[in-house]
Structure 1
Amino acid sequence: MAFVQQDEQLSAGSLVRGWFRTLYGVLMGSMTALPGLVAAVLGLGVMRMTEFELGRIARFGQGAHADPLTAGRCRRYLGVRWLVGGLGAGVVLMLMLYLMTALSMVTAWLFDGKWGLVRDGDVVDTQLILIAAVPGTLLIFVALAGVSGVAVLDRWLATTMLGRSQQTLLRQRVAELTSTRAEVIEAIDDERRRIERDLHDGVQQRLVALGMMIGRARRARDDQQLRELLRQAADTAGAAIDELREVATRVYPAVLDDSGLDAALEVLAERASVRVEVANELRGSPGTALETVIYFVVSEAVTNATKHASPSVVEIAVRTDGDEIAVVVSDDGVGGADPSGSGLSGLARRVKAVDGDFEVTSPPGGPTRISARVPCA
Structure 2
Amino acid sequence: MASITAARRARVHAPWSAAAWRDTVFTASGVPLQFAGWIILGFLWTFWTPARVTPVLLVIGTSVVLLLLALRPLTSWQRERCWAVLGLDIPPMPDFDGGRAWDVLRDLRSPELWRVLQYHLLAGPALACGGLTVIAAWAAGLAFATSGLYAWAVPYSSPLIDRPAHVVVLTLSGVLLLAAAPWAAAGVRTLDARAAAALLGPDRAKELERRVEDLAEQRASVVDAADIERRRIERDLHDGAQQRLVSLALNLGLARETLAGVPGDAMRVIVEAHEEAKEALTELRNLVRGLHPAVLEDRGLDAALSGVAARVPLPVRLRVDAEPRASSTVEAVAYFVVSEALTNVVRHARADEVDVSVVRHGEVLRVTVRDDGAGGADPAGGTGLTGLARRVRSVDGTFRITSPAGGPTTVTVELPCAL
Range class of TM-score, shorter chain: 0.3 to 0.5
TM-score (norm 2): 0.42
TM-score (norm 1): 0.46
Larger radius of gyration: 2
